[in-house]
Structure formats: structure tokens, C-alpha cells
Amino acid sequence: MKEYLKIKQQLLKMCFQFVEEKHNTISKSIASNKKDLFSETKSSAGDKHETGRAMIQLEMEKAGQQLSEVNKMQEALSKITIEKESEVVCLGSLIITDKGIFFLAISVGKAIVDAKDYFVVSTNSPIGNQLLGKKTGEIIPFNNAEILEVY
């Protein structure tokens, strides 16, 4: 197996783990909030009770939005085919520049594979957006980085 393919495979696996951890955290938060919502009992201070319920509702809405974002990340990852070779940077590309190595997937940040740093970025991020559609030899505005190789 080609070396870059192994690296892409490991980076993609890290992305899936990242999304799974986020999903689990949000799911636990939702379950906890539901429990709190049902255990919130009416007290003599009615306003305090209503405020408590409203705060829990806001937390539930926020968690729902976060869950929606995680689902979008999951969807983006499912579209990645690491075996696909392209001269043009696209979703799933491994991009080697003179300023660092990037994997275009979802926003995870720095990942380490075989003691090397990789930056896992989404197509919606500023740098991901600049990389998208570029070819070997082109310069991107971010740090005036030159694209050396695309896998």
C-alpha cells in the first residue's frame, strides 16, 4: 500500500473517532438535561422553577444544534474516498506544502501520525477554502505556502 494512502487512512480514522467522541458527549448532555427537566419540581418559588426549566430548555436547544453539526461532519466524512487520486485539491486530499501537511476533511486541528504533524481542516475553514481546487506548484495566501504535492 502506498505510504500516503496509509496516512490518509489513519487521519480519516482519527476524524471518525473525533466525531464519535463529540456525538457521545452531546448525547450524554442531552440525556442529563432530560433527566434534569423531569426532576425539576414545582416549588413555592414558582418563578425560580420556571427559570430553571427555561435554562434547561436552552441547553437542550444548544445541544440539538451541536448534534446537527456533528451529523454534518459525519456526512462530510462519509463522502471521502481516500483511494481517489486527484491533481486538484478536493475533499479527502492530503496536501503537502512548504509550510505544513494538510488533510482536507473536517476541522479537527493538529493530528500526529508516525511522529509527523498533520493539520486536519475542513473545506469551510479559511485555509481549507484556500486549498480547495488548487494544484501542485500553486501558492495559497495563507503563509504564502507553496503546494508541493497533492495525494
Contacts of 112 (CB under 8 A, 6+ apart): 118
128 C-beta neighbours (distance < 10 Å), count:
23
C-alpha cell at 26: 452531546
In the predicted structure, residue 135 carries a pLDDT above the cut 90: yes
Distance CA 44, CA 97 (A): 65
C-alpha cell at 31: 440525556
Domain ranges of the chain: 3-78, 94-150
C-alpha cell at 113: 501520525
Mean pLDDT of the chain: 90
109-113 vs 116-122, strand pairing mode: antiparallel
- Using left for φ > 0, alpha for ψ between -120 and 50, and beta otherwise, residue 142 falls in beta
The predicted-structure confidence for 70-128, as pLDDT tens digits, reads as follows 999 999 999 999 998 889 999 999 999 999 999 999 999 999 999 999 999 999 999 99
* pLDDT (average), residues 43-69: 78
